């Protein structure tokens, strides 16, 4: 089985099977998750200095910040699977 890689913006790529959730960074609990990941050294900032619009949470506890909308990132997870199933 081939590993599916997803572009999360600016050429940054994550392994699709390791992502548990894609959420918006607006709520206080998500901001707390980001802060805790930064303190643990498990925060990956892939925004290139732009505003964080999506937060990806990995099964390893890593938290990945993306400048793309959560819906856009989620669609990139869905499209390759739909094409391969047809």
Answer yes or no: are the C-beta atoms of 46 and 64 closer than 8 Å. yes
Per-domain boundaries in the chain: 5-85
Looking at residue 60, the DSSP 8-state letter turns out to be T
11-30 pLDDT tens trace: 999 999 999 999 999 999 99
pLDDT at 77 (0 to 100)? 87
19-62 pLDDT tens trace: 999 999 999 999 999 999 999 999 999 999 999 999 999 999 99
The whole model's pTM is what? 0.88
Whether pLDDT at 86 is above 70:
no
């Amino acid at each position: 089985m081939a590993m599916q890689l997803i572009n999360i913006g600016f050429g940054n790529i994550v392994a699709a099977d390791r992502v548990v959730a894609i959420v918006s960074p607006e709520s206080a609990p998500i901001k707390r998750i980001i802060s805790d990941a930064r303190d643990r050294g498990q925060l990956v900032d892939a925004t290139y200095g732009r505003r964080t619009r999506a937060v990806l949470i990995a099964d390893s506890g890593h938290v990945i910040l993306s400048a793309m909308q959560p819906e856009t990132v989620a669609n990139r997870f869905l499209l390759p699977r739909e094409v391969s199933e047809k």
